[in-house]
Amino acid sequence: MTTHPNPVRLLETLLALGVQLLIADNPELLLPPEVPVLHPTRRLALARNAVALIRETHYALERYCDAGPGPTPTAAPASADQDDAIPF
């Protein structure tokens, strides 16, 4: 039997990789937010937006994990007068 990785862990890993790649291309992202950059390049501004989107996605994944597993659907009881294969 094949086990599948947890998709949330996979998404978190991909988000972390994305941030690392953005920092590698834009080391200015490591500056604290209180340090002003007088004339940020367009590339830096776009990288900051991408980091903000990644941050929001990470928070959404945290909320998803905190919500826990949803209720498992229960199968409808099979009735004797059901003559077709469609379950609804």
Number of domains the chain contains: 1
Residue 57 lies in a domain: yes
pLDDT of residue 71 exceeding 70, the answer is no
Residue 54 lies in a domain: yes
Domain assignment of residue 48, given as a range: 7-29+38-67
Residue 83 lies in a domain: no
Kindly report, residue by residue over 36-70, the tens digit of the pLDDT: 777 778 888 888 899 899 999 989 988 988 887 65
Residue 48 lies in a domain: yes
pLDDT of residue 73 exceeding 80, the answer is no
How far is the C-alpha of 59 from the C-alpha of 53, rounded, in Å?
10
pTM, to two decimals:
0.61
Residue 17 lies in a domain: yes
Give the per-residue pLDDT at 84: 55
Burial 33-65 (b: 16+ CB within 10 A, else e): eeeeeeeeeeebeebbebbeebeeeeeebeeee
- Nearest CA to 8 out of 84, 50, 69 is that of 69
Residue 1 lies in a domain: no
Residue 46 lies in a domain: yes
Residue 86 lies in a domain: no
pLDDT of residue 88 exceeding 70, the answer is no
